[in-house]
Chains A and B, each alone.
Chain A
Amino acid sequence: MNTIENIVSIRNLTFLRQNRKIFDGISLNIQRGKVTAIMGPSGTGKTTLLKLIGGQLIPNQGEVIVNGHNVHELKRSDLYSLRKKMGMLFQSGALLTDLNVFDNVALPLREHTQLNESFIRSIVLMKLEAVGLRGARDLMPNELSGGMARRIALARAIALDPMMIMYDEPFAGQDPISLGTLVKLIKELNSVLNLTSIVVSHDVEETESIADYIYILSEGKIVGQGTPKEIRNDKSELVQQFLKGKADGPVHFHYPAKKIQNDLFGNK
C-alpha cells in the first residue's frame, strides 16, 4: 500500500442512492502535495465523492483510504481526529450564520485546542490575512458576498493547519474578479502550506489552470484522467464534449424520451 505517495486512495467504490448508482466501482488516487481536480457534468455525484472521503456517507461497496486509514472502518473518535486534518470548503461556505467572521474562523480552534484567547486571536488574524479579509473580521456572514464567504470559509478550513483541503465547486457562480482571487488562493495555499488539494468543479478553464491531475467522472464511472495536457488530447468523445462544452455528443441534448412524433400525435 503506497499511502505515503497517495494521501487518498479509493478502490472499487460503489455508492447507491435510492437504487440509482452514483458511483459504479470507481478507483482513483490522490497524490500528496498535488492539486487534483475531479470534474464532470452536474449531477455526477462529485460532492457525494467528497462526503464519502470525509466519512459523512457510507459506501455500498469498496473502500476509501485516507492517510493510511480506511475511513469507514474507523471508530467515531478516530474519524473525528482524522477530520481535523481534512479541511472542506463547501459551495455555500457553510459559515455559521449566528457567529461573526472572527468567531467562525476561531470556532475550530476553540473547539479543538486549549489555546488561550490571545493566541487564538493571532492565529485567526493570520488566517484571515492569508485570504485577504482581515478587515472583515467583525462582519456577519449575511453581510458577505458569495466570494468573500468562500474565502472566509477557506480561512476557517485552514485554521487547524490540515494536511488536505477539499474544495466543493469553489468557482461556481463567481464573478471574474473573485474567481481570479480564488484560483490564486488555492494555488498559493497549496504550495505555501504544503497542502494537498482536491478540487471538485465543472469549470474547465479555471480547473485546468491549477490542477496537477484531473479525473473526469460521468455516469458513475471515470471516463478520463491525466494531467491537464493529457486530458486536452484525450480521444474520448465524452471528454471532448465536456471540455469544449458542446450541446450534443455522447451526452445527448435531449433527456431520454420516446420519439416526439409519437408523443405529440400518437395515442397516450
Chain B
Amino acid sequence: MIYFIQKIGNRTISFFSKFGRSAIFLIQMLIACVAVIFRPKLLLTQLYSVGVLSFMIITISGLFVGMVLALQGYYILSDFGADETLGLMVASSLVRELGPVVSALLFAGRAGSALTAEIGLMKATEQLSGMEMMAIDPIDRIIAPRFLAGFISMPLLAALFSSIGVIGGQLVGVVILGVDEGSYWSQMQSNLDFYDDIVNGIIKSIVFGFAISWIALFEGYDTLPTSEGVSRATTRTVVNSAFVILGLDFILTALMFGDI
C-alpha cells in the first residue's frame, strides 16, 4: 500500500518537473524565435523539411477524406431529399473539424515524430552538447527555427487539407453522384461564415501547430541520449500530440461554436 502511494507521489513529482522543464523550454524557445526572423535561411530549410515534406500526405489524405465525406453524406442526405446541402455538409465538417484535426494528427505523425527523432539523435550524438561548447545555443540555432516552421506550416497544411477535401467532395458528389454543382457551392457559400467558420478553423490549426511543435521539440530535447530513449520519445510525441490535439479541439470547439 505504502509502495503504491509512493509510486503515485513519484509519478506526480516527475510529471510536474517535466511540465516545469517544458514550460522553461517553451519560454526559451519563444525568446529565441525573435532572433530567427533575422536569419530566414535557417527557417527556410526547416520549412522545407517540416512543411514541404508533409505536403503529399496532407493533400492525398485531404482528397480522400473529402471524397468519403461526400459519399457517406450523400446516402444520408438523399434519404431526406436534402442532397443539395451536400456541399455545406462536406465543407462545414472539413473547415470546422476534420481539416484542422486530421491534418494535425497527420502532421504529428509525419513531421512531429521526425523532429523528435532528429533532435533526440542530435542529443544522443552529442551534437547539441557540442554546440553549447562552441558557445552556440542549440535553442537559437536548432530548436527555434524548427518551432517556427511547424507553427507556420500547420495552418497552411490545414487550409490545404480542407480545400482539397472540398474539391474531392465535389468530385464524388457532383461528378459521380450527380448533385447539382450550383447548389453544391452556393449552399456552402451562403451558410459558412468567413469569420465564424474559416477563421476559427485556422485558429484551431495554429493552436495545434504550436502544441505539436512544442511537444515534438521538447520530447527530443528532453530525451535520454540512448537509442531506446529516442525511440520512446518519438512514440511519446505521437501519442501525446494526439491526446493534446483532441483535447484542445474539444475545448476550442466549445469556446468557438458552442454556447457553453
Please tell me if the beta carbons of A86 and B136 are within 8 angstroms of each other in the complex.
no
A60: interface (CB < 8 Å): no
B1: interface (CB < 8 Å): no
User: Quick one: which of A91, A92, A97, A156 contacts B134, CB cutoff 8 A?
Assistant: A156
Please tell me if the beta carbons of A94 and B135 are within 8 angstroms of each other in the complex.
no
Please tell me if the beta carbons of B136 and A108 are within 8 angstroms of each other in the complex.
yes
B236: interface (CB < 8 Å): no
Tell me, in angstroms, the Cα distance from A97 to B131 when the chains sit together. Answer: 12
Please tell me if the beta carbons of B130 and A111 are within 8 angstroms of each other in the complex.
no
Please tell me if the beta carbons of B133 and A86 are within 8 angstroms of each other in the complex.
yes
A contact residues around B135 at 8 Å (CB): 80-81, 83-84, 108, 111-112
A contact residues around B131 at 8 Å (CB): 96
A contact residues around B137 at 8 Å (CB): 80
Tell me, in angstroms, the Cα distance from A83 to B129 when the chains sit together. Answer: 12
Q: How far is the CB of A188 from chain B (nearest CB, A)?
A: 22
A contact residues around B141 at 8 Å (CB): 111
Q: How far is the CB of A67 from chain B (nearest CB, A)?
A: 14
Contact with A along B62-87 (1 / 0, CB 8 A): 00000000000000000000000000
Q: How many interface contacts (CB-CB < 8 Å) are there between A and B?
A: 55
Q: How far is the CB of A100 from chain B (nearest CB, A)?
A: 14
For A86, the closest partner residue in chain B by CB is: B133
Please tell me if the beta carbons of A97 and B133 are within 8 angstroms of each other in the complex.
no
Q: How far is the CB of B225 from chain A (nearest CB, A)?
A: 11
Please tell me if the beta carbons of A111 and B136 are within 8 angstroms of each other in the complex.
yes
Q: How far is the CB of A18 from chain B (nearest CB, A)?
A: 13
Please tell me if the beta carbons of B133 and A56 are within 8 angstroms of each other in the complex.
yes
- On whether A90 and B130 interact (CB within 8 A), knowing A97-B125, A111-B141, the answer reads yes
Q: How far is the CB of A152 from chain B (nearest CB, A)?
A: 12
Please tell me if the beta carbons of A96 and B133 are within 8 angstroms of each other in the complex.
no
Tell me, in angstroms, the Cα distance from A84 to B126 when the chains sit together. Answer: 18
Q: Which positions 125-157 of chain A face chain B at CB distance < 8 Å?
A: 153, 156-157
Q: How far is the CB of A182 from chain B (nearest CB, A)?
A: 18
B196: interface (CB < 8 Å): no
Please tell me if the beta carbons of A94 and B127 are within 8 angstroms of each other in the complex.
yes
A contact residues around B129 at 8 Å (CB): 51, 56, 90, 94
Q: How far is the CB of A203 from chain B (nearest CB, A)?
A: 20
B contact residues around A87 at 8 Å (CB): 133
Please tell me if the beta carbons of A54 and B125 are within 8 angstroms of each other in the complex.
no
Chain B interfacial residues counted at CB < 8 A: 15
Contact with B along A83-112 (1 / 0, CB 8 A): 110111011101111000000000110011
Tell me, in angstroms, the Cα distance from A87 to B131 when the chains sit together. Answer: 11
For B121, the closest partner residue in chain A by CB is: A97
B132: interface (CB < 8 Å): yes
Please tell me if the beta carbons of B136 and A97 are within 8 angstroms of each other in the complex.
no
Please tell me if the beta carbons of B130 and A83 are within 8 angstroms of each other in the complex.
no
B contact residues around A157 at 8 Å (CB): 134
**Most interface-central of B121, B133, B137 (chain A CB within 10 A):** B133
Tell me, in angstroms, the Cα distance from A88 to B132 when the chains sit together. Answer: 10
Tell me, in angstroms, the Cα distance from A92 to B130 when the chains sit together. Answer: 10
Please tell me if the beta carbons of B125 and A107 are within 8 angstroms of each other in the complex.
no
Please tell me if the beta carbons of B125 and A88 are within 8 angstroms of each other in the complex.
no
Tell me, in angstroms, the Cα distance from A107 to B134 when the chains sit together. Answer: 9
Please tell me if the beta carbons of A54 and B136 are within 8 angstroms of each other in the complex.
no
User: Quick one: which of B122, B125, B127, B134 contacts A108, CB cutoff 8 A?
Assistant: B134
Tell me, in angstroms, the Cα distance from A101 to B42 when the chains sit together. Answer: 18
Tell me, in angstroms, the Cα distance from A156 to B126 when the chains sit together. Answer: 15
Please tell me if the beta carbons of A92 and B136 are within 8 angstroms of each other in the complex.
no
A contact residues around B133 at 8 Å (CB): 54, 56, 83, 86-88
User: Quick one: which of A80, A88, A160 contacts B130, CB cutoff 8 A?
Assistant: A88
Q: How far is the CB of B29 from chain A (nearest CB, A)?
A: 16
Tell me, in angstroms, the Cα distance from A51 to B126 when the chains sit together. Answer: 12
Please tell me if the beta carbons of B136 and A107 are within 8 angstroms of each other in the complex.
yes
Give 12 A-B pairs besides A95-B127, A111-B135 with Cβ atoms closer than 8 angstroms.
Answer: A51-B129, A54-B133, A81-B135, A83-B134, A83-B135, A92-B125, A94-B130, A95-B130, A97-B121, A97-B122, A108-B134, A156-B134
A residues contacting B by CB (< 8 A) are: 51, 54, 56, 80-81, 83-84, 86-88, 90-92, 94-97, 107-108, 111-112, 153, 156-157, 160
- Can you give 15 A-B contacts (C-beta < 8 A)? A51-B129, A54-B132, A56-B129, A80-B135, A84-B135, A88-B130, A90-B130, A94-B127, A94-B129, A96-B131, A108-B135, A111-B134, A112-B136, A157-B134, A160-B134
